[in-house]
Amino acid sequence: MSSTSQFSFEPAKPVRALGVFAFVLGIAHGWMASLHWTHHQVVPASFVYSVIAILIPFTIAYAIAGRRAVRDWNRVGLWFLLLSIVVLIPLMHGLQLLGIQPR
């Protein structure tokens, strides 16, 4: 038998500046979306909307690029930013055109 382990784990890639920047932009976009829905008033509902606006894209991004087999936080951050833009714009403006508003 060999002295090496049957399972070899690669060290995790560190989160680089691009991944962190993508997370920050995605969170800021979620906050701005929640302020849009509350007509730019900081009320308790805007915090609830921002948590929802952050969790929806993050959950999808984590399912795509955050699984244990392929966990790469830089890719998760970039997917999160992309999905926050793609998902939140139709939620903000598309539902408003249909007359659906949370207030």
**What DSSP assignment string belongs to 47-66?**
HHHHHHHHHHHHHHHHHHH-
pLDDT, tens digit, 9 for 90 and up, residues 51-76: 988 998 999 999 888 777 777 888 88
Domain total in the chain: 1
In this prediction, residue 93 has a pLDDT band, given cuts at 50, 70 and 90, of confident
Is residue 30 classed exposed, middle or buried when 0-12, 13-18 and 19+ CB atoms within 10 A define those classes? buried
Look up the domain containing 77 and give its range: 26-97
Q: What does the pLDDT read at residue 7?
A: 58
Q: How far is CA 4 from CA 1, 9, 11, 41, in A?
A: 9, 12, 16, 60
Helix residue ranges per DSSP H, the chain:
17-37, 44-65, 73-89, 95-97
**Residue 83, in any domain of the structure:** yes
Global pTM reads 0.73
